Amino acid sequence: DTGVSQDPRHKITKRGQNVTFRCDPISEHNRLYWYRQTLGQGPEFLTYFQNEAQLEKSRLLSDRFSAERPKGSFSTLEIQRTEQGDSAMYLCASSLGREYTGELFFGEGSRLTVL
């Protein structure tokens, strides 16, 4: 399978704990995105990388959130001191090209439940 893969698919944690999600994009894709989706809503943009550079962060991304893409390949999204409001599906997507017009290829998401 050469699509976008995310790990873990489901994480249950207690409030206050740290969690980390990993995303492996399609290998030749230079752009990588993180989105958050809550029940009954569309995906909301969190952050975006072009190669290893993090070019944009949403206001939704509080100081407890950090994302990296150290070698321009896989990416991690860490949430520190989780809160119940962080419970959501975290989606990773990748795309190819210089222009910001390409379709996004999404992974199946990592569902976070904070108890």
Name the residues that contact other proteins, by CB under 8 A: 3, 33, 40-45, 48, 56, 58, 89, 91, 93, 100-101, 103-109, 111
In this complex, which beta carbon is closest to other proteins, that of residue 10 or of residue 15?
10
Distance between CA atoms of 35 and 43, rounded to whole angstroms?
A: 6
Q: Could you tell me the smallest distance in angstroms from the CB atom of residue 78 to other proteins?
A: 21
According to DSSP, the residues that pair with 56 across neighbouring strands are 48
Q: Could you tell me the smallest distance in angstroms from the CB atom of residue 53 to other proteins?
A: 15
Distance between CA atoms of 44 and 90, rounded to whole angstroms?
A: 10
Q: Could you tell me the smallest distance in angstroms from the CB atom of residue 46 to other proteins?
A: 10
49 touches 39 (CB < 8 A)? no
In this complex, which beta carbon is closest to other proteins, that of residue 17 or of residue 62?
62
In this complex, which beta carbon is closest to other proteins, that of residue 21 or of residue 33?
33
Q: Could you tell me the smallest distance in angstroms from the CB atom of residue 81 to other proteins?
A: 26
Compute the 3-state secondary structure of the chain and give helix, strand, coil in percent, each to the nearest 5: 5, 50, 50
CA dihedral for 46, 48, 53, 59, sign (positive or negative): negative
In this complex, which beta carbon is closest to other proteins, that of residue 5 or of residue 80?
5
